[in-house]
Amino acid sequence: MSLNFAATKKLFVIPEGCIYLDGNSLGPLPKSAISKTRDVVEGQWGKMLITGWNKAGWMQQPIDFGNRIGRLIGAERDHLVVGDTLSIKVYQALASALELRPERKTILSDIGNFPSDIYIAEGLIKSLGKGYEINLVPPEELTKNLNEDVAVLMLTEVDYRTGRMHDMASLNKLAHDVGALTVWDLAHSAGAIEVNLRQVGTDFAVGCTYKYLNAGPGAPAFIYIAPQHANTIRPAISGWLGHAEPFAFEPYYRSGKAIERMRIGTPPVIASAALDAALDIWDQVEMVELRAKSVELTDLFIEKIQDTCQMLVLASPKDAKLRGSQVSFHFEEGYAAIQACISLGVIGDFRAPDIMRFGFAPLYIDEKDVLAACAIISKVMNERLWDRPAYKKKDKVT
Amino acid sequence: MSLNFAATKKLFVIPEGCIYLDGNSLGPLPKSAISKTRDVVEGQWGKMLITGWNKAGWMQQPIDFGNRIGRLIGAERDHLVVGDTLSIKVYQALASALELRPERKTILSDIGNFPSDIYIAEGLIKSLGKGYEINLVPPEELTKNLNEDVAVLMLTEVDYRTGRMHDMASLNKLAHDVGALTVWDLAHSAGAIEVNLRQVGTDFAVGCTYKYLNAGPGAPAFIYIAPQHANTIRPAISGWLGHAEPFAFEPYYRSGKAIERMRIGTPPVIASAALDAALDIWDQVEMVELRAKSVELTDLFIEKIQDTCQMLVLASPKDAKLRGSQVSFHFEEGYAAIQACISLGVIGDFRAPDIMRFGFAPLYIDEKDVLAACAIISKVMNERLWDRPAYKKKDKVT
């Protein structure tokens, strides 16, 4: 079943002269997404019009695509659904989880969580107005803050800045030991590392498909709910497609079965064409093999950069077992250095305050790319190319 | 500026032999959406990768597209934003509106509202748990139920089954007279009838773009907030892109200015390519002209059907001033009759329990289509083509 990674590289559009180490922000275009998108637009929407909902299976896409993503992260079948954006999925997971622990008022998270997950929690608990608190601690202090006031432990598995990876299994166990539930954000995990939601007893998980999964800008997100909760939880955003019978147009809400109730509105059919193309590649990938390759690439990158760039301070764990599929460095003029790298064809990105971030996706990055990128980064650093006014102008939004 | 409607018809893909009277459910494909989508996928995502957020203006799309939709419904500039699905936008509007009237506990709506708007309200108030109630009354009883307990009057302007149109101006005034706010769902209004949000003092409005606006299956929704509220309201779903500075990655949420705070996650870039193509047509349309044409078409349709189909009972207001851009009839075997019409090329749809529904979009439907559709519907009814077992099998989801 498994593709070799020399073969997968040919399945993506990578512009000439570009070493793309930013797939952790937005994955590149799978070549087949061009024809798939055209087929959905012209062949399905254009020809089938309204009948596409039945004939082309649009209505079932969120579950169908969910199962294909679910295989990559160890979800039970029919327990993961695609739709909306990651922020919405965080909101749904957190709102439902809090209701399962009504007597508890603390959401525990860490400062390595992606800020917008915290924003969503803030907005939700202000609406609820029931005395909830967010306890935001350094990652190493999570354990000592896990107590019986904690309703939900909400974490991003891989830190978006440093690539530091949490031990999901042990944190799930510690959370469950004190009666708390877990909500995991897999934004930098899905398609990047091995995840086995079922095996480690995760309660809720959410993620996006536009990063390592390569489904395109604004591609839909996903949500997973463990079987023991899926038929119990109440959806806070009780949308049309989460109804048991959406087309009965009943006056009041009745939850659809299990994860179906996390569906909200009309499925994003056109956006999902690219997701479908991306998943055609993922369907042939075994995550254990991808992870092994990712570790090789990131180890090599760290070794070479540390050999040649004294100014860059490793921000990621050196031990691959503690690291996702990205490598980050601290550098005060990191913003300018990233601009200089980009101008020489190495696309990484900058995250405030001083993080230079490089993502490694074995589907289209190989050893040759890593060595070529190291040579360019080393040139930028050692020839002080970052020290040019043009690179210091902060006019970029991402 | 205005296109004539014979010209606009050529801008859409309408399958041979099809009279498409279901644009109120899913609009047809604008021909230019094929190349626009390809350009975004291949020319932007493929070539620009992560830099598309800046270079291709992806990040600004929700406001840019919002302004183009805003012109069609009389919104103030920069007070309408595109994103997510209609259910999410209803949730946002209602949650923010309720907080503006904290001492009041009633959401008033009518049984002509689209059920999923009620579902969303149910889910929201259960989460809030503060004693809110939904008062769901017949449309003609709204006025007598508008009192000082009402926080929000939440209505769909055009009834999805009957096409009955509310008087937005007078209901806004009555609501404001008792201190209530209004949330209007424009799903069957935007691109169908004349709406002037600013002029009639609407507080919140939401809508979708996949119906009359022709932006494709799963196209994004929109939300409008009146200027006097836009900088005051707190977003319940406080998402990343609604933050004042999303890329500062601050640990806590600060609202973006005005309508920007209703943005949630990453903009749906690929889905928006089709919206862009659809808006290229809408940019050249004056709603006053479109409405005049729509009234001509629906009046003609009603006249011809009433002349020839005795079994069909008009469910829509006969007076065009009280009607949106659709015409509906009651017929006990309506489901089978619609299947029979579809088999003969007239695409309408069925809505439980007994509604045969036909939408009229002057951009691609003309008098000739109306007459041809009437001939076919008359054949279906008078030759009792609906009375065949094959048409009675309810296996369709939409």
Contact A53/B397, CB-based, under 8 Å?
Answer: yes
Smallest CA–CA distance from A113 into chain B, residue:
B251
B194 and B79, same structural domain? yes
* Confidence grade of residue A9 (pLDDT, cut at 50, 70, 90): very high
Smallest CA–CA distance from B35 into chain A, residue:
A38
Residue A79 within any structural domain of the chain:
yes
Distance from CA of B188 to the nearest CA of A (A): 16
Smallest CA–CA distance from A210 into chain B, residue:
B266
pLDDT at B1: 47
Smallest CA–CA distance from A45 into chain B, residue:
B29
Percent of chain A whose predicted confidence (pLDDT) is above 70: 98
CATH code, domain with A42: 3.40.640.10
Q: Are B112 and B142 in contact (CB under 8 A)?
A: no
B73 and B26, same structural domain? no
pLDDT tens, A132-161?
999 999 999 999 999 999 999 999 999 999
Read off the tokens for A79: 């327990």
* Distance separating alpha carbons of residues A219 and A85, to the nearest angstrom: 8
DSSP reduced 3-state for B126: helix
pLDDT at A396: 57
CA B111 to the chain's CA centroid: 17
Q: Tell me which of A282, A313, A332 is where a domain ends.
A: A282
CA distances from A312 to A375, B50, B143, B208 (A): 14, 23, 69, 49
Higher pLDDT, B63 or B395: B63
Average pLDDT score over chain B:
96
Contact A29/B46, CB-based, under 8 Å?
Answer: yes
Read off the tokens for B67: 């302004």
Residue numbers in B near A248 (CB within 8 A): 352
- pTM greater than 0.95: yes
pLDDT tens, A167-189?
999 999 999 999 999 999 999 99
CATH code, domain with A22: 3.90.1150.10
Phi and psi at residue A162, in whole multiples of 5°?
-95, -20
Q: Are B385 and B378 in contact (CB under 8 A)?
A: no
Contact B88/A221, CB-based, under 8 Å?
Answer: no
Task: Name residues whose C-beta falls within 8 Å of residue B335's C-beta, 6 or more positions apart in sequence.
Answer: B350, B391, B392, B394
pLDDT at B398 over 80: no
pLDDT tens, A270-317?
999 999 999 999 999 999 999 999 999 999 999 999 999 999 999 999
Task: Identify residue A75 by its one-letter amino acid code.
Answer: A
Range B147-164 average pLDDT: 97
Exposed/middle/buried for residue A299 (C-beta within 10 Å: 0-12, 13-18, 19+): middle
Residue B108 within any structural domain of the chain:
yes
Distance from CA of A178 to the nearest CA of B (A): 25
Residue B397 within any structural domain of the chain:
no
A53 and A179, same structural domain? yes
Q: Are B364 and B20 in contact (CB under 8 A)?
A: yes
Read off the tokens for A157: 């598995």
CA B287 to the chain's CA centroid: 15
Read off the tokens for A238: 């009780």
Residue A397 within any structural domain of the chain:
no
Read off the tokens for B71: 């012109």
pLDDT at B395 over 70: no
pLDDT at B397: 53
Helix and strand element counts for chain B (H, E): 16, 15
Residue numbers in A near B217 (CB within 8 A): 45, 52-53, 58, 266-267, 269-270
pLDDT at A359: 98
Read off the tokens for B98: 């309720």
Read off the tokens for B245: 């500075």
Average pLDDT score over chain A:
96
Read off the tokens for A128: 């609820």
Question: Which residue in A46, A251, A264 is closest to B85 by CB distance?
Answer: A264
* Confidence grade of residue A4 (pLDDT, cut at 50, 70, 90): confident
B252 as an active site residue: the answer is no
* Distance separating alpha carbons of residues B40 and A344, to the nearest angstrom: 25
Question: Which residue in B37, B122, B217 is closest to A266 by CB distance?
Answer: B217
Question: Which residue in B59, B85, B123 is closest to A253 by CB distance?
Answer: B123
pLDDT at A352: 87
Q: Are B157 and B168 in contact (CB under 8 A)?
A: yes
Q: Are B302 and B327 in contact (CB under 8 A)?
A: yes
B25 and B78, same structural domain? no
A199 and A175, same structural domain? yes
Q: Which domain holds residue A188?
A: 33-282
Where would I find the beta strands (DSSP E) of chain A?
12-13, 19-20, 29-30, 80-83, 106-110, 133-137, 150-156, 181-185, 204-208, 221-225, 313-314, 326-330, 346-347, 349-351, 355-359
DSSP per position, B159-212: -TTT-BB--HHHHHHHHHHTT-EEEEE-TTTTTTS---HHHHT-SEEEEESSST
Residue A136 within any structural domain of the chain:
yes
* Confidence grade of residue A1 (pLDDT, cut at 50, 70, 90): very low
B228 and B290, same structural domain? no
B9 and B127, same structural domain? no
A325 and A213, same structural domain? no
Phi and psi at residue A358, in whole multiples of 5°?
-130, 125
In DSSP terms, A326 is beta-bridged to: A359
Percent of chain B whose predicted confidence (pLDDT) is above 90: 95
pLDDT at B352 over 90: no
Angle, to 10 degrees, between the axis of helix A367-382 and the axis of helix A287-308?
30
Best mutation target among A20, A21, A45 (most B Cβ atoms within 10 Å) is A45
Read off the tokens for A369: 């790319």
Read off the tokens for A268: 């994003």
**How big is chain A by its Cα radius of gyration, in Å?**
22
Residue A25 within any structural domain of the chain:
yes
A215 and A136, same structural domain? yes
Residue numbers in B near A351 (CB within 8 A): 249
Helix or strand holding residue B97 (H, E): helix B86-100
Using alpha carbons only, what angle is made at residue B215 by residues A252 and B273, rounded to the nearest 5 degrees? 130
Catalytic residue among B159, B185, B203, B369: B185
A112 and A19, same structural domain? no
Read off the tokens for A89: 């999925």
pLDDT at B20 over 60: yes
> Residue B22, Cβ neighbours under 10 Å: how many?
26
* Distance separating alpha carbons of residues A112 and A123, to the nearest angstrom: 19
- Report the candidate in A2, A10, A71, A27 with the shortest Cα–Cα distance to residue A278: A27
Residue numbers in B near A208 (CB within 8 A): 266
Residue B398 within any structural domain of the chain:
no
Exposed/middle/buried for residue B137 (C-beta within 10 Å: 0-12, 13-18, 19+): middle
DSSP per position, A187-203: TTTTTTS---HHHHT-S
DSSP state of A265: S
pLDDT tens, A34-74?
999 999 999 999 999 999 999 999 999 999 999 999 999 99
* Distance separating alpha carbons of residues A79 and A194, to the nearest angstrom: 18
pLDDT at A103: 97
* Distance separating alpha carbons of residues A205 and A93, to the nearest angstrom: 8
Catalytic residues of A: 114, 185, 210-211, 357
pLDDT at A2 over 80: no
pLDDT tens, B302-343?
999 999 999 999 999 999 999 999 999 999 999 999 999 999
Q: Tell me which of A237, A255, A282 is where a domain ends.
A: A282
B37 and B26, same structural domain? no
Tell me, what's the ipTM?
A: 0.96
Task: Give chain B's domain count.
Answer: 2
CB pairs under 8 A between A and B: 297
Q: Are A46 and A40 in contact (CB under 8 A)?
A: no
Contact A123/B38, CB-based, under 8 Å?
Answer: no
A221 and A359, same structural domain? no
Higher pLDDT, A398 or A355: A355
Helix or strand holding residue B358 (H, E): strand B355-359
* Confidence grade of residue A122 (pLDDT, cut at 50, 70, 90): very high
State the first-to-last Cα distance of chain B, in angstroms, to the nearest integer.
36
Task: Identify residue A295 by its one-letter amino acid code.
Answer: V
* Total residues found in chain B within this entry: 398
CA A28 to the chain's CA centroid: 15
Q: Is the peptide bond before A389 cis (omega within 30 degrees of 0)?
A: no
B357 as an active site residue: the answer is yes
* Distance separating alpha carbons of residues B170 and B120, to the nearest angstrom: 25
Read off the tokens for A337: 């250095």
Residue A398 within any structural domain of the chain:
no
pLDDT at A307: 97
Residue numbers in A near B235 (CB within 8 A): 123
Q: Tell me which of B246, B262, B282 is where a domain ends.
A: B282
Contact B398/A237, CB-based, under 8 Å?
Answer: no
